[in-house]
Amino acid sequence: MMSYYPENALIVQSDRTILLEVHSPTAEVAREAIAPFAELVKSPEHIHTYRLTPLSIWNARAAGLAVERMVEALQTYSKYVVPDAVLQEIEVLGKRYGLTRLEQSDDGFSLLLKVADKPLAELLLREEAIAPLLEQRLSPLSFRVNPGFRGLLKKALVEVGYPAEDLAGYVSGDALPLNLRPVAHNGQAFNLRPYQKEAADVFYQSGRVQGGSGVICLPCGAGKTIVGMTAMAQVQENTLILTTSLTSVRQWRRELIDKTDLTEDAIAEYSGEIKSTGPVTLATYQILTYRPHKEADFPHFSLFQARAWGLIIYDEVHLLPAPVFRITAELQARRRLGLTATLIREDGREGDVFALIGPKRYDVPWRELEAQGFIATATCTEIRVSQDEDEQMSYAVAPRRQQFRIAAENPRKVDVVLQLLQQETGHKILVIGEYIDQLKTLARATGFPLITGQTAQQQRETLYQQFREGAIAGLVLSRVGNFALDLPDADVLIQVSGKYGSRQEEAQRLGRILRPKSDGRTAKFYTLVSQRTCEEDFARHRQLFLTEQGYGYQIEILDRD
């Protein structure tokens, strides 16, 4: 007779998925027990689904979680006997982490790759991606490695399933005395939230070689910038901060001046407009990946060697461009901190983030921070809008690659936006979309200013400030609105079109309205989708990340003759 423990919350299945019954009396402790080593797939109302993957297990091992603890968590909280195959998989994958180790050589001029046993050494010597990176075999279980190959070797070892524990340490950067202010410039007390301090602590680990590299995952609006500044205060060395846009650069500058004792002249900007460096340098991914033509070198990569950096911060690390991955492979002797709301990469390169930036060090479910009042409560509504007969015919006869845009630019969406503005009068509203012609039409219809990639940076900053001050009630934004907008009072977002099925974008856009509101009001996220089109299919995929985080979607269908 199969053993059955009805009070337990977990059902562990042989396909490596774990189901968690939310209403079970042990649900909360079970979730806390498995969250460090199981990847959350989705979290709707009643049953949450987790998945065991090599990366989820290796991230847990890198954080110091023993295989035995993972096995114990499943066995303690499972309703049924855990399948042997799952336990064996955890043991095999978990014990692979650390079978290869990178250490500093005694002479300090090279690295050593140490392996656990001779069969593994022989296996690695026969791997095409690894053998060229091993400079010299020093003993049956150790190899000399050129320090310049440190990142490439780690990436290759992840790809063959033997992730290295990197204990080679870091070079020291130039000193940067930096302290967080107990009181911000605006006179308000500045206190680190508990999870922000904990995130920085698990990254830095008091300067031990086990710390100093990795990724912090926190929801938009939860203060990832503050975590970055806290890490800077711990490291106390020159810091290079890479981010997505000039708007984000300016936001980092404001936060650094407001909440640390850095002076203005200690913070430099390296962008398309200004190219200077300082003890803290803010740069955009765009300037770093610029080159005059496809065969040319990247002229601004010299920034990585411009100073003795002790820390490199990769803001929105899930968007890291491939060229920056390549240069990061050469920067393994610098401490590296990735900040993101989601490690989902549409190109599937999460393994590269693990190898080259570092393992996930800290993660908090969005709804947990919502429950604690650190981010706003939000409701999500999908409004399905019919097309008129001419639009339906245009869609039906269009080539497949053009159908999405026709659906996305459905003219009837303009009327729905105007209805929502009337319904949400008095709120601070963002209208965001993908296609400029559609956005121009919406700007004319709503009277809201339009901000696109062509809007001058000074004009953007002026409009953002007017929005913050209440001089304007809303903005129409292109995809420039996806990231790093410091608009804490925005509480309604209307998404009229998006980038196909991007879960990243869905998460980032919701994040624009998740800053906690002073009066505790609920944020509202509306998505407009054309009925009976491929846009419905893409919308389902976009919603995946938010349903994984526990957000339900209410669906409204607007039929119109």
Q: Residue 124's closest CA among 150, 163, 94?
A: 163
* Rounded-to-integer distance, Cα 48 and Cα 323, Å: 37
Whether residues 379 and 360 share a domain: the answer is no
Show which of 96, 114, 139 is a domain's final residue.
Answer: 96
pLDDT in tens, 373-411: 899 888 999 999 999 999 999 999 999 889 999 999 999
Q: 248 and 254 in contact (C-beta within 8 Å)? A: no
Whether residues 313 and 220 share a domain: the answer is yes
**Within a domain: residue 172?**
no
**Within a domain: residue 182?**
no
Whether residues 398 and 544 share a domain: the answer is yes
Whether residues 305 and 338 share a domain: the answer is yes
| pLDDT for residue 114 | 97
Whether residues 153 and 74 share a domain: the answer is no
Q: Residue 159's closest CA among 85, 96, 213, 102?
A: 96
Average pLDDT on 533-555 reads: 79
**Within a domain: residue 369?**
no
pLDDT in tens, 261-305: 999 999 999 998 889 999 999 999 999 999 988 888 999 999 999
Whether residues 349 and 383 share a domain: the answer is no
pLDDT value at 517 more than 90: no
- pTM given for the model: 0.87
Average pLDDT on 10-34 reads: 95
Whether residues 359 and 246 share a domain: the answer is yes
Average pLDDT on 419-438 reads: 95
Q: Which domain holds residue 41?
A: 10-96
Least confident of 236-240, 504-508, 518-522, 545-549: 545-549
Whether residues 89 and 119 share a domain: the answer is no
| Percent above pLDDT 90 for the chain | 70
Whether residues 272 and 230 share a domain: the answer is yes
3-state secondary structure of 428: coil
**Structural domain total, the chain:** 4
Count the Cβ atoms, other than its own, within 10 Å of residue 180. 16
Whether residues 412 and 548 share a domain: the answer is yes
| pLDDT for residue 319 | 85
Average pLDDT on 536-555 reads: 77
Residue 152 belongs to domain with CATH number? 3.30.70
**For the chain, what is the mean pLDDT?**
91
Q: 185 and 257 in contact (C-beta within 8 Å)? A: yes
| pLDDT for residue 41 | 77
pLDDT in tens, 47-56: 988 999 999 9
Whether residues 85 and 36 share a domain: the answer is yes
Whether residues 383 and 445 share a domain: the answer is yes
* Rounded-to-integer distance, Cα 50 and Cα 70, Å: 14
* Rounded-to-integer distance, Cα 79 and Cα 18, Å: 11
* Rounded-to-integer distance, Cα 410 and Cα 532, Å: 12
Residue 326 belongs to domain with CATH number? 3.40.50.300
